[in-house]
Amino acid sequence: MANIRQLASGHWQVQIRLKGRKVTETFLRYDHAREWATAAEGQIDKGSAPTGRRARGAKTFGTLIDLHIDDMKEVGKPPRRSKSATLAMLHRELGAFKLSELDRERLIKFGRDRAKNGAGPVTLGQDIGAIKLVLSHAAAVHGLEISIEPVLLARIALKRLGLIGKGRERDRRPTEEELQKLFVHFDSNPRQLIPMSRIIKFAIATAMRQEEICRVTWSDLNLRTKMLMIRDRKDPRAKMGNDQRIPLLAVSGYDANTLIEEQRSVRSNEDDRIFHYSSKSASTAFTRACAELKIDDLHFHDLRHEGTSRLFEAGFSIQQVALVTGHKDWKMLRRYTHLRPESLHSSPNVVAA
């Protein structure tokens, strides 16, 4: 039975001992304590876990998003940038809806609207997956009686409509002419403070992401072994603590070690990063330069594709390339590999006529 008592603070504490279970919650008002106690006893009597006070007060989808974020922070796994952006968007678009209003029709409309605003099949699939995650979390962790069937049905409908699906694999690689145009553009601009030409070459030499390039430090560099440690490298299964040591090679047309040595001349005393610049600023500079030079459909991330492809063209195996790129799924590594047919002329398997 429920025991309700007033604490010295004036709050009301509920203790329930029933069918071997013991739960405790605290409330500001007695009527709220009594209401929760009655509902909790009913849940225990039915054989389910009682819903906590915070979860019981969740009436909208936005409150469930907040609850999910708080829970993940509590266990030391706060949402990182990409997931945080998705949850923030869902909060704006769907947060005000009551849980009863988040039905199949509402979710399909959400998907159609997102697609009209430019969300691609992969992005929309991730959005629907995030909705399912928040609802499943509330049901599993907090015992809320929530059905995810509307989400599953909406996903099927959006997939049938062609709004959810696999993304088209990019095969864009910069040509030598395009790279030279970029180098001349950046090197001839005295107002360009970020050494973009050096960063572009380093991205190709190491197949590193722009965020990684602007995060590695001198402390993580081992000159003797020519190795560089990348901290918390992006990985879908281990977003924190996924540190990887990569070799600094000179097989892609650019020498990673030489580029780092060139960076010593502008080393910062206050900042231990080798490339002590904002990754967003570097990305913006790259995008703006491509627009001015009329280089169509080239992204900074395509340099990672280029670096990966050059490693294969240099004769490295899949296992060896993975030691540089950090891919644990070799199927995923294949997506980043777009070999040029001309490279076969320099392959060690080709016998001269």
DSSP letter string, 167-228: PPPP-----HHHHHHHHHHHHT-TT--S-HHHHHHHHHHH---HHHHTT-BGGGEETTTTEE
pLDDT of the residue at 257: 96
Separation of alpha carbons 177 and 175, rounded Å = 5
Mean pLDDT throughout 243-250? 95
Q: Which sequence positions are flagged as catalytic? A: 209, 239, 301, 304, 327, 336
Q: Does the structural domain 176-346 have CATH classification 3.40.50.2300?
A: no
Among 165, 170, 65, 168, residue whose Cα is nearest residue 115: 165
What three-state secondary structure class fits 105? Answer: helix
Beta strands in 202-351 (DSSP E): 221-222, 227-230, 244-247
pLDDT at 55 over 60: no
What residue type is assigned to position 348 of the chain? P
pLDDT at 287 over 70: yes
Q: Which are the contacts of 139, defined by CB distance < 8 A and separation ≥ 6?
A: 145, 146, 148
pLDDT of the residue at 353: 45
* Whole-number percent of the chain with pLDDT over 90: 57
pLDDT of the residue at 351: 46
- Report which DSSP code applies to 7: -
How high does pLDDT run on average in the chain? 86
CB 229 within 8 A of CB 216: yes
CB 220 within 8 A of CB 228: yes
Mean pLDDT throughout 266-282? 93
Separation of alpha carbons 161 and 154, rounded Å = 10
The structure's pTM equals 0.64
Question: What residue has token string 């906590």?
Answer: 52
- Report which DSSP code applies to 111: H
Separation of alpha carbons 146 and 89, rounded Å = 22
pLDDT at 350 over 80: no
Mean pLDDT throughout 321-350? 68
For 124-146, the pLDDT digits (tens) are 999 999 999 999 988 887 777 78
What residue type is assigned to position 232 of the chain? D
Listed by start position, the domains of the chain span: 2-50, 61-160, 176-346
pLDDT grade for 322, boundaries at 50, 70 and 90: very high
What residue type is assigned to position 54 of the chain? R
pLDDT grade for 53, boundaries at 50, 70 and 90: low
